[in-house]
């Protein structure tokens, strides 16, 4: 029903690293953040593959990477919905030996290189997600029993101490676990089941991260401007009549400024002025005005003081 969307946070981190001037110390910080996010995405993909291959003997819908809001915002890695119950899966992708402590709740990771890391307990995250999803459902007068499990998606995980009160699964154990759950009580009828699915999709909100420069206090002078060539990845496409030309790979692309403005909003700032646009794309005032007006951006203020914003929810993101 719903595939996971490309994480905008990840995109921002990748773009930022390629725009920050050489040898800036923040690059290694951004790179390690990137690898944490990629490991998480890798784990969720492994779970998604297992679920995709499996044919359950009952009606079901599967949602990956669902962001909803009830009492507060919450994000569910995987939700499997059947007419009798829903299953919430929280995926962890950590190498080494893991200890799930209950008092206080904590996850301790001992990596092969001897490093020890401490995380919020996934048991607490899972319980909170189930609680918030229950609230979300009852706001809509839907009563569906919810079950949950923590999935260890990384192939080289060793569990030293399992959690006392939560189910731990490896990806291939997910289908039998889901099939083993009791199908009792009233089931959702055909139309309620479908209404719930479209309600979940409609309520899903894309997570829009703070621009990288804001999160990591990187001044604009450390960011290289220029329009990026999507073919060779280099910065510095040149504006020629009706299109952009890449001096490196000689490709023309009349929409190249669009991707570069998305980069601005993910990397530099939430808003852009005509002057900032001119400096970033290396264009004159008239081209900047035309580009900003044609991008279906939201704007605030008039004439000289006008600032533009991007509504990422309207962007056709893959
Ligand atoms: Zn190129």
pLDDT (0 to 100) of residue 94: 86
pLDDT (0 to 100) of residue 4: 67
Whole-number Å distance, alpha carbon 281 to ligand 1 midpoint, is 15
pLDDT (0 to 100) of residue 30: 96
pTM beyond 0.75, yes or no: yes
pLDDT under 70 in the chain at which residues?
1, 3-6, 315-318
Whole-number Å distance, alpha carbon 259 to ligand 1 midpoint, is 14
Whole-number Å distance, alpha carbon 9 to ligand 1 midpoint, is 25
| Cis bond before residue 236 (omega within 30° of 0) | no
pLDDT (0 to 100) of residue 5: 67
Whole-number Å distance, alpha carbon 145 to ligand 1 midpoint, is 53
Whole-number Å distance, alpha carbon 235 to ligand 1 midpoint, is 8
- CB atoms near residue 175 (< 10 Å): 17
Nearest C-alpha neighbor of 160 from the set 99, 92, 93, 114: 99
Whole-number Å distance, alpha carbon 229 to ligand 1 midpoint, is 5
pLDDT (0 to 100) of residue 317: 47
pLDDT (0 to 100) of residue 318: 39
Element (H, E) at 123: helix 122-139
pLDDT (0 to 100) of residue 316: 55
Domains of the chain and CATH, by start? 8-203 (3.40.91), 225-314 (1.10.10)
Whole-number Å distance, alpha carbon 20 to ligand 1 midpoint, is 19
Whole-number Å distance, alpha carbon 237 to ligand 1 midpoint, is 7
Whole-number Å distance, alpha carbon 250 to ligand 1 midpoint, is 6
């Amino acid at each position: 029903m719903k595939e996971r969307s490309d994480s905008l946070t990840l995109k921002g981190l990748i773009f930022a690293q390629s725009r920050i001037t050489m040898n800036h110390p923040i690059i290694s910080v951004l790179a390690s953040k990137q690898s944490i996010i990629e490991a998480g995405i890798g784990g969720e993909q492994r779970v998604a593959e297992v679920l995709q291959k499996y044919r359950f003997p009952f009606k079901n819908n599967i949602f990956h990477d669902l962001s909803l809001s009830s009492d507060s915002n919450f994000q569910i890695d995987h939700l499997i919905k059947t007419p009798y119950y829903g299953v919430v899966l929280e995926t962890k992708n950590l190498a080494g030996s893991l200890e799930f402590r209950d008092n206080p709740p904590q996850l301790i990771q001992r990596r092969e290189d001897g490093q020890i890391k401490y995380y919020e307990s996934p048991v607490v995250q899972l319980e909170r997600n189930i609680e918030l999803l229950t609230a979300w459902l009852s706001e809509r007068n839907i009563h569906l029993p919810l079950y949950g499990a923590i999935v260890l998606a990384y192939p080289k995980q060793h569990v030293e101490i399992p959690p006392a009160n939560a189910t731990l699964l490896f990806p291939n154990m997910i289908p039998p676990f889901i099939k083993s759950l009791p199908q009792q009580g009233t089931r959702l009828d055909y139309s309620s089941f479908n209404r719930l699915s479209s309600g979940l999709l409609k309520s899903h909100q894309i997570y829009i991260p703070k621009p990288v420069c804001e999160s990591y206090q990187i001044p604009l002078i450390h960011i290289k401007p220029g329009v990026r060539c999507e073919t060779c990845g280099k910065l510095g496409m040149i504006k020629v009549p009706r299109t952009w030309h890449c001096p490196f790979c000689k490709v023309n692309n009349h929409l190249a400024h669009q991707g570069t403005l998305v980069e601005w909003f993910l990397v530099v700032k939430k808003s852009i002025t005509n002057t900032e646009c001119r400096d970033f794309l290396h264009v004159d005032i008239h081209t900047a005005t035309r580009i900003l007006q044609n991008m279906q951006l939201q704007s605030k203020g008039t004439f000289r003081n006008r600032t533009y914003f991007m509504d990422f929810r309207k962007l056709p993101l893959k």
